[in-house]
Structure 1
Amino acid sequence: MRKYEMMVIARPDLDEAGLQALSDKIAELITSNGGTVESQDAWKKQRLAYEIKHLREGFYSVFNFTGEPRTANELNRVLKITDEVVRFLIVRPAE
């Protein structure tokens, strides 16, 4: 199993329930593909460095998880088509 770190920027118009649903969806994707969620930072609203999809703000969260490469590939596939996600990045942290 490899360690991964994923940063997600969600739409700023989501409410608390929407953010929780998105967190649950991401955690379910990780666990259903053989991974485990190590930690997740709380959602924090911040101003974006530049406009993305006509948005100036977004909710940021960082997920640390372990999994196989297929776990990261499936997350990448699903998050690309998830409307609530503005941008995301999955990286393998330095060992």
Structure 2
Amino acid sequence: MENENGTKKYEFSYWIKPDIAESSLGDVQNEIKNFIEKSGGGTIKEKGIIRENLAYPIKHYGYGFLKVSLIEFAPVKMDEFRKYLKLNANILRYNIGTADDIDIIQIKEFKKIVNESQKIKSAAIEIEGVREGEGKKASDIPPEASVVHQAPEKEKITLEDVDKKLEEILGREI
């Protein structure tokens, strides 16, 4: 949904390389902000830069500095903005998504939701053994019930057993 001045709202997040001194993180942020303003856009809302571990290495880095902003930008200049970000040596990765009248997702709230869902999953695994015995409380279940069942151990097969089976199948002695 474009505004009257031809701009659209975007949620823009980017990872800054960790080998940059923390004192110069503001310079990288200002470079990007200046580019947005020169291109006719602007920053509506932004969150501070935070140090975060990456889910997987990006360009051999295990962590980086994350910046999330809500920006206004002209869609016709978006390709130029993406090229600028790709060529910027300080940016590990970026993400731009349309933000039709939404606010920036709170990173801490997101982590809280993820932690709660993990707790729910672990509780579901624990309760899995309760389904057969309706009306039981989790405290009534013996500790062995929440243990994941393992497959029974198979008999060890010796080389002699293999030879006997081959003789039986082939009908001759080996």
Whether TM-score is above 0.5 comes out as yes
Higher strand proportion:
1
Residue 47 of structure 1 aligns with which residue?
Answer: 53
Residue type at the aligned position of 2:56? Y
Aligned twin of 2:21 = 15
- Structure 2: gaps of 5 or more residues: 1-6, 102-174
Normalising by structure 2, we get a TM-score of: 0.52
1:84 is matched with 90
Per-residue CA shift, 1:18-54, capped at 9, x if unaligned? 2111111111111101111112211100100001110
Structure 1, 31-40 or 71-80: larger mean CA deviation: 71-80
Q: Which runs of 4+ in 1 moved over 2 A?
A: 70-74
Whichever structure has more helix as a proportion of its residues is: 2
Identity %: 27
Equivalent-residue separation in structure 2 for 1:9 and 1:22 (angstroms)? 11
Answer with 1 or 2: which has the greater Rg: 2
Query: Does the 8 A contact of 2:9 with 2:100 survive in 1?
Result: no
Could you tell me which amino acid in structure 2 is paired with residue 50 of structure 1?
Y
Give the alignment partner of residue 74 of structure 1, picking from 77, 80, 103.
80
Give the distance between the partners of 1:2 and 1:82, measured in 2 at CA: 23
Could you tell me how far 1:93 is from its partner in structure 2?
1.9
Q: Is there any run of 5+ residues in structure 1 with no aligned partner, and where?
A: none
Could you say which residue in structure 1 is the equivalent of 2:40?
34
Asked whether the equivalents of residues 44 and 71 of structure 2 are also in contact (C-alpha less than 8 Å), the reply is: yes
**How many correspondences in the alignment?**
95
Partners of 1:25 and 1:81 in 2: how far apart?
13
CA shift for structure 1 position 73? 2.2
Find 1:3's aligned residue among 9, 13, 19. Answer: 9
- The alignment's C-alpha RMSD in Å is 1.3
Contact 2:51 2:64 in 1 (8 A): yes
Q: Matched residues in 2 for 1:18 and 1:73: separation?
A: 27
Aligned amino acid, residue 88 of structure 1: Y
Distance 1:74 1:39 in 2: 22
Match in the other structure for 2:65: 59
TM-score normalized by the length of structure 1: 0.91
